[in-house]
Amino acid sequence: MQSISGGVCAAKGYTTNGVLCRIKPTRSTPDLALIVSETPANAAAIYTQNLVQGAPITVTKSHLQNGKAQAVIVNSGNANTCNADGIAVAQRMCELVQEHVGIAGGDVIVASTGVIGQPLPVQKIEAGMAELVAGMGRENDKAAAAIMTTDTFPKQSAVEFTLPCGTLCRVGGMAKGSGMIHINMATMLAFITTDLAISSEMLQQTLKECAEGTLNMVTVDGDTSTNDMCCVLANGMAGNAEITGEGAALDAFRAALMTVLTELSRMLARDGEGATKLLICQVSGANTVQDCRLAAKAVVASSLVKAAMFGGDANWGRELCALGYSGADLDVTKIGVRFSSAAGDITVCENGTGVPFCEDVAAKILAEEEITIHIAAGNSEHAATAYGCDLTYDYVKINGDYRT
Amino acid sequence: MQSISGGVCAAKGYTTNGVLCRIKPTRSTPDLALIVSETPANAAAIYTQNLVQGAPITVTKSHLQNGKAQAVIVNSGNANTCNADGIAVAQRMCELVQEHVGIAGGDVIVASTGVIGQPLPVQKIEAGMAELVAGMGRENDKAAAAIMTTDTFPKQSAVEFTLPCGTLCRVGGMAKGSGMIHINMATMLAFITTDLAISSEMLQQTLKECAEGTLNMVTVDGDTSTNDMCCVLANGMAGNAEITGEGAALDAFRAALMTVLTELSRMLARDGEGATKLLICQVSGANTVQDCRLAAKAVVASSLVKAAMFGGDANWGRELCALGYSGADLDVTKIGVRFSSAAGDITVCENGTGVPFCEDVAAKILAEEEITIHIAAGNSEHAATAYGCDLTYDYVKINGDYRT
């Protein structure tokens, strides 16, 4: 497997573009994106678990009931959620794809991200469609920019891998954050494309499996958004025999999808609103993988841990505290805590009790932009990794007046 | 019932004091407090639900097994948690009360608050005991100051009420916050005294009931601390016949305790680390009181809601979003949202959809220091109130480098 460029256009048979419609009047970068597959594709998606779900989620769920899709239309600047005309607007966005590209509206995935509860001015999208469609090509950079809200950089990843049968395949994707991101998925938008031939059922199953260890392990602020989804299109243009069950071919795809989703998850966490540091928590040795996941997520989700990391303060009691309320089944008298970064490695707690350490060395380690918090929770073979970021003044600033 | 002064000394037969021991070397205000009842008292307590529990919690639980206590010793500046000698130090603090006051160590409640994982220098407490005991009296202001950590003001409350039999009773208390405060109790220290005669069993039951609607509905940052507790001493010096079951006398006490705990809860939330505003969320009409509580707590715990309130931004989609992931059983198409404060009242959402409102009026309402978010969730008679605060730059500042 190797990293390649191209994002959602890395795989065969996909084109994309992004244009500026000014859905939010002050916007100066693209805010509408379209991804089109040359041929019909099998499709799968996972969605937010929030009871309040945006109209695009409702429409996409309906369109994906048959496991097929051929295009994705997505806007930023307005979430089209909690609006009386929300469903009609989301459906209209799909119809616009039908009118301009000739793909049936029922084969279109629709997504929106931005402010909740303000009507989406769909006429702005109507006005932008001609330019959007005219420019379709390998414009993955424009598309990745178009889905950004408070993101500070676009998030793309792609890999190439070879199936056991010798066929070369690609998986690529793009994602956006960066607030309202929390565990249990659907906490961001992520669009993945592949030219692999795979059944909708196996695609759904593999997406779910891979997201549990990646997108579902990202937390920025504990808020699970109303709108977010990760979808995958698989158009089969790589030419392999369709994957319909477990085996070496599925394993190869799973590894590729894990790589892309892990990469996007790291970018989402690093670009958390106001973040200056990527925090990674690796928990090993708890009784079950679920305990490891609960523990890892609680640590990177703790406001106190996040603020301490912003300040570069090795206040490990906060990790212990978070582990204690995580809901994970842990023997707190056995916990070890270690911090590492490019600047080194330091153990600060063993068997649930502090050990003497050099504050200067700890400060240097915690001054880096990527910090890993290692939690040793026992002797089992289970492990999990969660991704988060520090809590900074800028998070408060960004969210204190988001709408203006 | 009427408010009176005196805090933990408002009830008959209690004395207290606070002195400076410099447990944290830079401290310049009292950091050690003692409360003593003239006579043995029935006692009850509730504790943190964190798996990591401070040594004082372990020792206090053991001492309260018989439902009796006569004194409380508490220090700030060090949590005595995750230390190898923690239990021995907590026991030593109780022994010091025995040596200096003559109350058996087993009848002493001990509590500590501050940094986790640094040994507590108990010799500093030993050195301060003589001064502490010599000054015992109606020094409730000193005691309330001694238990503060990052609190910006001491928190005390007391009321006087009359039992149906005509006996005058008092309930008073003090509490400290102000970070690491979250739902599910024991997320702060609160010490309550009363001169009521009541059995330990009824005292425990009433404390638990009252805390569920008050202390357990306060959240500052979602972190449940390792150390915190609320305990009540009831020494019976009011002279009433001991309350041993339900009835009008217990109802009178319950109302008084609710008043004191509500008052302390509001102070704790208002003094959340870095807070500039008290946020109150009142949810009514959900199917059960538990649903109302889950919903109310999710709203005041949401970082996005808290940051929006700091910015005075009526971005009600964030309330909807929090309700959606709260875990409460809600029909999100029926939700109404209204903001109120001393400056007025404004409805921003009905039936899960935004309604037109004047942004200028909303901004004036949200500029006040106490804001109530009203959530109408249906037609049932159930309701709940949660207490929180806004998320500010100063929260990040306070927590970015807490240890120095």
Query: Does residue A403 register a pLDDT over 50?
Result: no
What type of residue is A296?
A
Q: What is the per-residue burial (b if ≥16 Cβ within 10 Å, else e) of A77-111?
A: bbbbbbbeebeebbbbbbebbeebbebbbbbbbbb
Contacts of B83 in chain A (CB under 8 A): 353-354
- pLDDT attached to residue A143: 97
Identify which has the larger pLDDT, A397 or A10.
Answer: A10
Query: Does residue A280 register a pLDDT over 90?
Result: yes
DSSP string, A132-194: HHHT-BB-HHHHHHHT-SS-SS-EEEEEEEE-TTS-EEEEEEEEE--SS--SSS-SSEEEEEE
Query: Does residue A404 register a pLDDT over 60?
Result: no
Q: What is the pLDDT of residues A198-247, one digit of tens each?
A: 999 999 999 999 988 888 888 765 555 677 788 999 999 999 999 999 99
- pLDDT attached to residue A185: 28
B403 in contact with A, Cβ within 8 Å: yes
Interface of B with A in 15-74 (CB under 8 A): 49-53
ipTM of the complex: 0.71
Q: What is the pLDDT of residues B359-397, one digit of tens each?
A: 999 999 999 999 999 999 999 999 999 999 888 877 676
- pLDDT attached to residue A342: 96
B395: closest CA of chain A, how far (Å): 8
Percent of chain A whose pLDDT exceeds 70: 93
Dihedral angle, C-alpha B351, B354, B359, B364, nearest 10 °: 30
On whether the CB atoms of residues A387 and A359 are closer than 8 A, the answer is: no
Task: Choose among A226, A311, A391: nearest Cβ to B321.
Answer: A226
Q: What is the pLDDT of residues B127-167, one digit of tens each?
A: 999 999 999 999 999 999 999 987 888 999 999 999 999 99
Interface of A with B in 335-364 (CB under 8 A): 349, 352-354
HEC string of B112-149 equals EECCCCCCCCHHHHHHHHHHHHHCCEECHHHHHHHCCC
Percent of chain B whose pLDDT exceeds 90: 71
Q: pLDDT band for A399, please (50, 70, 90 cuts).
A: low
Nearest-angstrom CA–CA distance, B65 and B77 = 27
On average, the pLDDT of chain A sits at 90
Average the pLDDT over each of A44-53, B71-80, B253-262 and give the range with the smallest value: A44-53
On average, the pLDDT of chain B sits at 90
Query: Does residue A272 register a pLDDT over 90?
Result: no
Contacts of B353 in chain A (CB under 8 A): 82-84, 117
B315: closest CA of chain A, how far (Å): 7
- pLDDT attached to residue A215: 84
Could A223 and B83 be called an inter-chain contact, meaning their C-beta atoms sit closer than 8 Å? no
- pLDDT attached to residue A150: 78
Token code pair at residue B375: 């959530």
Contacts of A401 in chain B (CB under 8 A): 308, 311-313
Contacts of A389 in chain B (CB under 8 A): none
Find the mean pLDDT for residues B107-114.
Answer: 94
Q: What is the pLDDT of residues A364-390, one digit of tens each?
A: 999 999 999 999 999 999 999 999 998
Q: pLDDT band for B185, please (50, 70, 90 cuts).
A: very low
Which H or E run contains B282? strand B278-284
Task: Choose among B117, B180, B225: nearest Cβ to A349.
Answer: B117
pTM for this prediction: 0.79
Nearest to A207 by CA among A183, A176, A186: A186
Nearest-angstrom CA–CA distance, A136 and A36 = 8
Q: What is the pLDDT of residues B280-324, one digit of tens each?
A: 999 999 999 999 999 999 999 888 888 889 888 898 988 998 898
Find the mean pLDDT for residues B99-121.
Answer: 94
Token code pair at residue B130: 């003589």
Query: Does residue A178 register a pLDDT over 80?
Result: no
Interface of A with B in 247-286 (CB under 8 A): none
Q: pLDDT band for A271, please (50, 70, 90 cuts).
A: confident
A333 in contact with B, Cβ within 8 Å: no
β-strands B108-113, B68-76 pairing: parallel
Catalytic residue among B187, B193, B385, B392: B187
* Strand-pair partners of A15: A36
Could A82 and B401 be called an inter-chain contact, meaning their C-beta atoms sit closer than 8 Å? no
A324 in contact with B, Cβ within 8 Å: yes
Q: What is the pLDDT of residues A131-163, one digit of tens each?
A: 999 999 999 999 999 999 878 889 999 999 999
- pLDDT attached to residue A243: 96
Q: pLDDT band for A400, please (50, 70, 90 cuts).
A: low
Q: pLDDT band for A179, please (50, 70, 90 cuts).
A: low
Is B58 a known active-site residue? no
Find the mean pLDDT for residues B23-41.
Answer: 95
B83: closest CA of chain A, how far (Å): 5
Find the mean pLDDT for residues A27-48.
Answer: 94
B117 in contact with A, Cβ within 8 Å: yes
A152: closest CA of chain B, how far (Å): 18
Task: Choose among B52, B83, B398: nearest Cβ to A321.
Answer: B52
